[in-house]
Chain A
Amino acid sequence: MTTTWEDLVTSALLGTDRRAPADDVLARSPGKDAPVALLDAAALHTVRRRAGLLPGPAAGLPEPAPHDGRPPLPDAARRRLAHLLADRSGTSSGGGRRGSAPDLTELLPQWLAAANAHDYRAPASVLPALLDAARARTDLRPAALVFAGPLGLWLARLNPEWRFALRGTPGGTALPEPADPDAVRRLWEEGLFAERVALLGAVRAHDPDAAAALLASTWPSERAEDRLMFLDSLRTGLSDADEPFLEEALSDRSRNVRSTAAELLSALPRSAFARRMAERASTCVHLDRTVAEATITVEAPHECDAGMQRDGVLPDPPTGRGERSWWLGQLVEAAPLAVWTARLGARTATEIVALPVADDWADELHAAWCRAAVRQRDPAWARALLGPPTTPPATGPGTSSLAERSKLLSILPDGERALWVADFIAAHGLSEAFQLLGVCEVPWAEPLGRAVVDALDIARDAGSYPWSFSGVMGLAERCLDPGQADRLEVLTAVPDEPEGASPGAGGYWSEAFQRLVATLRLRAAMRAELLPVASPPDPLD
């Protein structure tokens, strides 16, 4: 009988005094103590076991990731991406002073957008770092997941930390042909929620009626939060054809679904809903011609009847607001703006906004018109409510809220929006410009870029510290046209300190402008690196 490894372990665990090794162990090491003989035998066993190791059976092989047909990144762009991702962990330790080197993390969203515009495939080796980055920053997720493509999704299934990728944008899931009804039906009934939303969007783009039928087929059995999301996805490509479905949804079980349906309907000025709202709203607003200057008078609704409630008007105001003005706001917001021209003496939007309003209803009425302009994406009204950019924000017509102004701005065409903000900055400086700049198209149009740089230059000459403008500086780094770098070079010199300036400010400004110029150069380089290589030198592909 030969001693097994288990016997040796037992003997070693208990000690040879208590459990002596078997005779054959002792016989093989003649003249040695039991512990030594045990060690001899264990050494032999160990080396023999290691030398004779055999592979084990494989677990089931995974389904390979779907093929990604997009072209690979040019080499320089691949290195740049690795670089941007490597810097990711570093920025939190930056502290107050930002130094003269660009903030690479902030460039990642731009890089991803540009790479996606070229429709490049993400290099496999960066996917883990990319998914980690997207996990930490939700704003990166849509672009990162599109870039990561089917391989990224495949990988995310294996790591619970990347589960967000399966919920979020269905980056690159292979959707069936919208014209293939069987495949569409199968995915619609069996797919993940994100896949179904994407499917609905694809079918809708291809054939709106088929999409409506698809949605109606399972509508009653969907969960309330899913109904809300599906409804929300109709925002893209909303048209009069959607009216019957939305009208139906006005009597949904869920209040959120009802109010979203009402909101969508109010963006369709030709709908029956819009007509109902127009009727209700116009009974509340009149033009008083009896006084010297034509004036708007407001008679807010006295009750919120069942019909209004069915059309999504919420009867209970938030605390601190009167219920009648709350109802009025909702009616005006949902009524088509065209109704006011007819109602108020064939005036244009600008003329209407300029009319005086009796009894302090002006703020309420203008705020509701702002919401309506945003909802109905009406540039004429947006322009009227914004007023000329040179008017001081607090005194103009329309709204003085920066959040509402930036929403209104986003309705204007790109060029007009940039000009408006440029004139605003020229007139009022940078202190209130941050939110407005955020809605301007990147890269900034030339007049806007010049206005921002001039304003920064003025702020420097005024002797303040650059970190008072760090928000705008950061935006400028990301949004200025990279072609401006050379023109800005002169600003990087350390100026003579003017009388009364904050001590040392000149040096900090120079540093801030250096970072601005360096970031612009870097962005230009990034953009150039992403240009497709003329002849792919890669023999393996």
Chain B
Amino acid sequence: MNQQGVRWTAEQVLALAPDDASRRAGAKLGTAGPWSGGGSDGSGAVWGLCKGSGSKPYRTIVDTAGPAYSCSCPSRKFPCKHALGLLLLWSAGGEAVPDAGVPDWAEPWLAGRRARATGGRGPGADGGGPARSGDPEAARRRAEQRAARITAGAEELEQRLADLLRGGLAAADRSGYGLWEETAARMVDAQAPGLAGRVRDLGAIPGSGPGWPVRLLEECALTHLLDRAWLDIDRLPDPLAATVRTRVGLTASADGPAVRDHWSVLAQYDTPDGKLTTRRVWLHGRNSGRTALLLSFGAAGRAPALALPVGTVVDAEVRPYPGAGRLRGELGEQFSPPVPDTAHPPGGDVAGALAAYGTALREDPWLDAWPVTLTGVIPVPSPGGGWQLADADGGSALPVTAAALGGPGLWRLAAVSGGRPVTVFGECGHRGFTPLTAWSPETPETVPLT
């Protein structure tokens, strides 16, 4: 494999930045000026010395296969601006980061990582590992206690929903957000974070613009459905029961059989939610045809650890989690660093996309959207100010979700299309289609829209 080919693009590097300030600071350092002693080896390690304000330069090392970062600077940002600058320099392919042997100062850290990578997967590769395996009897008792608390929470929530419907949703508009916050807190006490999250979302609906009563009734009904499913979980078939457990907020471990494949990285995007940033990475297995979702979380000020550049393919194992359509997976061993890839997954028309979402609801009625690839669609501005993705024959169209309107991604999509058919990967659901990545026959690029 050509070394140059493995390098990431500037966009991919900048996507790693924990915040805008770091992105800017990193971009400033992404030039040869302050750097010396830089280099990279064939296996994804990049290093360099960055002159800072002190007398000794900072030692920056990045393992792009992870990716993982090490820097001698005191910054608490992660990755720090030096790591970002170094990666930008590397991505630009200049002579400041030539192919070279690993210098002595970078060797121990890299060797330590490699040793851990080969000697079994590192512990807690993706947050929240399973509970300590101790006394199985005690674990069973703890699980029962938690289930009982969740049951009590679900019953209380049922009661509140019934009261709400008895008094009317119109009253919910007046009672404001406080009521929902309090109910959400009760669900947190009941150790049912999934229910708590749904309740918080319910509280935001009355302020969400015209048509809110319809949306509120829909979401109340689905929350009710989840309550009922939990309360009768013993009578559900196993896969559905697993979905319900996941939806309620019980963490499961990725216990499915690992799937080794060449996984194309289709999309990566972050959703900040208060103190936590959630990063979603969509993969598509070239041979298995499976779509997998990797989740990674970052606390305030830190980018989520997992980063796979869009438009690359990686030979790796993915282990699926139970429930919820078995989309979510955990990244296992990687057998190669990510290499560029311009192929797009097979796709279909807009009717097929909605049908796929409908089918997925059979396994998980709480799904808001389902990953699909549309081929031969044209982005079209619709008269009401929104956008559509229309089949190239001009017959049918899907609306673009309100959340995706107005962002730079939509304009990139329009530009890449230029009024001609393109292939778009995204999430299709009852709110419409959220475009995430585009491919055009006119350019060899994979264009991220997030």
Total interface residues on B, CB under 8 Å, equals 83
Give the segment of B99-107, B140-148, B161-169, B265-273 that binds chain A: B161-169
Q: A53-B354, A62-B419, A90-B28 are in contact. Are A14 and B168 (CB under 8 A)?
A: yes
Known: A13-B213, A125-B412, A515-B33. A36 touches B27 (CB 8 A): no
B394 CB contact (under 8 Å) in A61, A104, A521: A61
With a CB–CB cut-off of 8 A, which chain A residues contact B444? 538, 540-541
The answer, among B158, B378, B408, for a CB contact under 8 Å with A61, is B378
Pairwise interchain contact A42-B388, C-beta atoms closer than 8 A: no
Q: CB-CB < 8 A to B213: which residues of A?
A: 9, 12-13
Nearest chain B CB to A299 CB, angstrom units: 63
In chain B, residues 332-369, which have Cβ atoms closer than 8 Å to a Cβ of chain A?
Answer: 350-351, 354, 357-359, 361-362, 365
The contact string, 1 if C-beta is below 8 Å from chain A, for chain B 10-33, is 110010000010011001111111
Q: Are B28 and A101 in contact (CB under 8 A)?
A: yes
Give the chain A neighbours of B390 by CB distance below 8 A.
58-59, 61
Could you say which residues of chain A place their CB within 8 Å of the CB of B23? Answer: 86, 90
**A159: which of B388, B411, B430, B447 is its contact (CB, 8 Å)?**
B411
State whether A155 touches B443 (Cβ < 8 A): no
- Is A124's CB within 8 Å of the partner chain B? yes
A87 to chain B, nearest CB (A): 5
B397: interface (CB < 8 Å)? yes
Q: Which of A72-80, A216-224, A268-276, A449-457 contacts B (4 or more CB under 8 A)?
A: A72-80
| Contact A63 B419, CB 8 Å, known A14-B168, A42-B220, A79-B9 | yes
A15-B168, A39-B224, A102-B31 as given contacts; A58 in contact with B397, CB under 8 Å: yes
Binding site secondary structure of chain A: helix
* Contact A50–B224 (Cβ < 8 Å): no
Q: Are A129 and B32 in contact (CB under 8 A)?
A: no
A90: contacting residue among B24, B388, B414, CB under 8 A: B24
A102 near B351: Cβ-Cβ < 8 Å: no
- The CA of A524 and the CA of B382, in the complex, are separated in Å by 46
- B117-138 residues at the A interface, CB under 8 angstroms: none
**How near does chain A come to B354, taking the closest CB pair, in angstroms?**
5
Neighbouring B residues of A517 by C-beta, 8 Å? 33
Chain B residues lying within 8 Å of A76, measured Cβ to Cβ, are 92-93
Q: Which residues of B contact A104 (CB under 8 A)?
A: 27-28, 31
Q: Tell me whether B418 and A60 are in contact (CB under 8 A).
A: no
In the complex where A83-B30, A159-B411 touch, is A15 in contact with B167 (Cβ < 8 A)? yes
User: Is residue A522 contacting chain B, with contact meaning CB distance below 8 A?
Assistant: yes
> With A12-B217, A128-B411, A155-B414 as given contacts, are A50 and B168 in contact (CB-CB < 8 Å)?
no
Contact B31 A124 (CB under 8 A): no
Q: A36-B162, A87-B28 are in contact. Are A124 and B442 (CB under 8 A)?
A: yes
Q: Of all chain B residues, which has the CB nearest A89? A: B24
Out of A57, A64, A128, name the residue touching B408 (CB < 8 Å). Answer: A128
Which residue of the partner chain B has the closest CB to A132?
A: B408
Pair A55/B396 contact, Cβ less than 8 Å: yes
B445, CB-defined interface residue at 8 Å: yes
A124 touches B418 (CB 8 A): yes
How distant is the Cα of A9 from the Cα of B217 in the complex, in angstroms?
Answer: 7
Q: In the complex, which residues of chain B have a beta carbon less than 8 angstroms from the beta carbon of A80?
A: 92
Contact, CB under 8 Å: B397 / A39: no
Q: Provide the residues of chain A in CB contact with B20, threshold 8 Å.
A: 89
Counting CB contacts under 8 A, is B372 at the interface? no
Q: How far is the CA of A115 from the CA of B393 in the complex (A)?
A: 36
CB <8 Å contact, B420 and A64: yes
A82 on interface, CB distance cutoff 8 Å: yes
Chain A residues closer than 8 Å to B93, beta-carbon distance:
76, 79
Q: Which chain A positions have C-beta within 8 A of B419?
A: 61-65, 154
**Nearest chain-B residue to A65 (Cβ)?**
B418
* Cβ of A84 to closest chain B Cβ, rounded Å: 9
- In the complex, the answer to whether B221 meets A46 with C-beta atoms within 8 Å is yes
- With a CB–CB cut-off of 8 A, which chain A residues contact B168? 12-15, 17-18
Cβ-defined contact, A82 with B9, below 8 A: yes
Rounded to whole Å, the gap between the CB of A6 and the closest CB of chain B is: 9
Is the C-beta of A47 less than 8 angstroms from some C-beta in chain B? Answer: yes
8 Å CB contact of B358 from A13, A38, A52: A52
Please, which residues of chain B bring their CB within 8 A of the CB of A125? 412, 415-416, 443, 445, 447
CB-based contact B445/A35 at 8 Å = no
Q: Is the CB of B440 within 8 A of A33?
A: no
Contacts of A54 in B (CB 8 A): 351, 354, 396
Contact B412 A128 (CB under 8 A): yes
Across-interface contacts of A16 in B (CB, < 8 A): 165-166
Most chain B CB within 10 A, of A12, A127, A522, A541, is at A12
8 A Cβ contacts from B203-235 to A: 213-214, 217-218, 220-222, 224-225
Q: How far is the CA of A217 from the CA of B419 in the complex (A)?
A: 37
A251 to B46, CA, bound (A): 72
* CB < 8 Å neighbour of A40 from B224, B359, B430: B224
Q: Which residues of A contact B214 (CB under 8 A)?
A: 9
Q: Once the chains bind, are B167 and A17 in contact (CB under 8 Å)?
A: yes
User: Could you tell me the distance between the alpha carbons of A167 and B29 in the complex, rounded to whole angstroms?
Assistant: 37
Complex alpha-carbon distance, A102 and B388, angstroms: 42
Residues of B within 8 A of A15 (CB): 165-171
Q: Which residues of A contact B429 (CB under 8 A)?
A: 50
Cα–Cα, bound, A33→B161 (Å): 12
Q: Would you call A411 an interface residue if the criterion is a C-beta within 8 Å of the partner chain's C-beta atoms?
A: no
Beyond A76-B92, A158-B381, whether A55 also contacts B412 by CB under 8 A is no
- CB within 8 A of A58: which of B33, B91, B361, B396? B396
Binding site for A on B (CB under 8 A): 9-11, 14, 20, 23-24, 27-34, 51, 88, 91-94, 158, 161-171, 213-214, 217-218, 220-222, 224-225, 350-351, 354, 357-359, 361-362, 365, 378, 380-383, 388, 390-391, 394-399, 408, 411-412, 414-416, 418-420, 429-430, 440-445, 447
